[in-house]
Structure 1
Amino acid sequence: MSSTATRTEPAYLVFSDVDETLIDCKSVFDFLHFALVRLHGAEGETLYRTTRSRFETMAAAGVARAELNRAYYRTAWAGYRAQRLTELGRAWFAQRGAQSGFFIEETLDALRRHQAQGAAVVLVSGSFGACVNPIGEAVGAARVLSTVPVVHQGVLTGEVDQSMIGEGKRAAVLRVLAEHPSLDPQACYAYGDHPSDAPMMDCVGNARAVGDDPGLHTYLAQRASTAARDRIRGAAAFTCWSTGRAEHLVAGPGVCARAC
């Protein structure tokens, strides 16, 4: 028997955002509260409220999500040991993951149905491994693509090596798809709750919205309209995918479809 294992390709890939798509909270802040109170007691509660208020003010002022994401790691975790945050992340998930309502059941059920059909689930999150890795293990994700903080001598510097927001999600999803050249991206799926998930959704043929964000549903309606026009014209290609290239497609049910 060969010592080299043969990799079995999944039937297709399913990319899913995490916060407010798979779980019913923003993990970065939910974990921040848990960890600061665990580490600093009553002072941690005050620190959490101050930090959360600062980010709410920034968001209200229109600061882009990608910049908010980077500012979070600079503000919240610079100087903390990576191993300690990993331990706290597992303790957080052990507590929160066991609570009713933590997972959005409709999304979790959908991912399980995909897995039963031979798909591989890939979680794609602006949160970081301390939070997202335990969630990935719990749902049987094949991979977790998350924001990667810079670590020097075991300590977070506050900088980010790779931010998994917006265009960062697009780039990461395209890299994964390139690793599976035998799979048709048009047959793959993406789940998200916010327009910042659109770059990820652009990479696959089937986009599904979780929740009722009007911007995301407008995006999905535009995708559906583009596909419908191409079917009417009998076109063999369109360019709604993130590559910007005209891909040869056979339009059919589920192609750039609005989420059900």
Structure 2
Amino acid sequence: MNRTRVAFFDVDGTLTTAPSMFRLLAYYLAAMGHPPRAYQERMRELKAMAALGCSREATNRAYFTHLAGVDAGVLTRVAQEWYAAELATGGFYHEPAVAELRRHRERGDHVVLVSGSFPAPLRPIAADLGVDEVWCTEPEIVRGRHTGELAGPPMIGRAKADAVMNVLLRLGATRADCVAYGDHISDLPLLEAAGSAVVVGGDRRLRTSARIHGWPLLPGTPPAPEPPLPPSRTGAGVSSPTPFCHPAHPFHPSARYEMPESA
């Protein structure tokens, strides 16, 4: 009988060179006609929280408060445009990690993204990479608009390990049949939950764990290209590309998010 093999991938800093949710936020604010300082002020708030010792969960939740009142459909359409603009830079994806993902796909493994980001920026990434499943932060949306709250806990730390266990249980797979890829110390529970792991770059603490566990290393991400920004325009002027529809790649209803190390 064929065994189900599963490969779990963190996204930001692992598969991509830049944090998807923050790049999308900068793009969205510019598209809505906000000056650059609007994004800078929001990032300054999040960095100040981190500097004061606020937990990653707290800073993650704070990100989504800035989406309160945002039309979810408009954000999804802008995310499609943002993704196309990121691809045009030629440096959005981290090729060593993407090559590993493609290798897993070619041999028929079940590929899962486990990310602190959220559906709007992850949908086009998941579609392009042809993954089977995505676990991510799920913002609360009521009557088509973001409330600024989350529908569940952010996917950070232990939540990523829980995602691994849930997927393996559902697929009837074992830890011995899975591998996880991550770049940040907050990915350690994800990596330890899998039967084997690969560290992509990684900070000092994560590389130390890799040596202890005997995990292989992939190169870290190169500097990300300058973020693409659209011409300023009002919400009414946002174009409407074909809506994303990919029922073969569902977003788990308890999906979850994560701040980059620099924040």
Q: Report TM bin, short chain.
A: 0.7 to 0.9
> Looking at both structures, which has the greater relative contact order when contacts are Cα pairs under 8 Å and sequence separation is at least 6?
2
Kept after mapping to 1: 8 A contact 2:164/2:194 = no
Kept after mapping to 2: 8 A contact 1:173/1:200 = yes
Alignment match, 2:184: 194
Amino acid at match of 1:189: V
Alignment match, 1:35: 28
Alignment map for 1:46-57 (pairs within 5 Å) = 46-57=37-48
**Structure 2 residue 77 is matched with structure 1 residue 87:** yes
Fraction of identical pairs, as percent: 37
Alignment match, 1:246: none
Which among 4, 9, 17 is matched to residue 10 of structure 2? Answer: 17
Amino acid at match of 2:51: A
Alignment match, 1:106: 96
**Structure 2 residue 117 is matched with structure 1 residue 159:** no
Alignment match, 2:160: 169
Which among 204, 211, 218 is matched to residue 221 of structure 1? Answer: 211
Kindly provide the CA deviation profile for residues 144-164 of structure 1, in whole angstroms up to 9, marking residues without a partner as x.
111000111111111112211
Alignment match, 1:203: 193
TM score, norm. by length of structure 1: 0.79
**Aligned-CA RMSD value:** 1.7
Gaps of at least 5 residues in structure 1 are 1-8, 225-256
Gaps of at least 5 residues in structure 2 are 219-263
Amino acid at match of 1:161: A
Alignment match, 1:125: 115
Q: What is the aligned residue count?
A: 217
Which among 206, 210, 217 is matched to residue 259 of structure 1? Answer: 217
Amino acid at match of 1:48: Y
Kindly provide the CA deviation profile for residues 203-222 of structure 1, in whole angstroms up to 9, marking residues without a partner as x.
21111111141111122233
* 124 and 16 in structure 1: CA distance in 2 versus 1, 3 angstrom threshold: same
Kept after mapping to 2: 8 A contact 1:36/1:48 = yes
- Taking the aligned partners of 2:41 and 2:4, their CA distance within structure 1 comes to 47
Q: Secondary structure at the match of 1:68?
A: helix
- Taking the aligned partners of 2:49 and 2:148, their CA distance within structure 1 comes to 18
Larger mean Cα displacement after TM superposition, 44-53 or 188-197? 44-53
Alignment match, 1:97: 87
TM score, norm. by length of structure 2: 0.78
Alignment match, 1:58: 49
- Taking the aligned partners of 1:10 and 1:127, their CA distance within structure 2 comes to 30
Amino acid at match of 1:72: Y
Instruction: Compare CA radii of gyration and give the structure with the larger one.
Output: 1
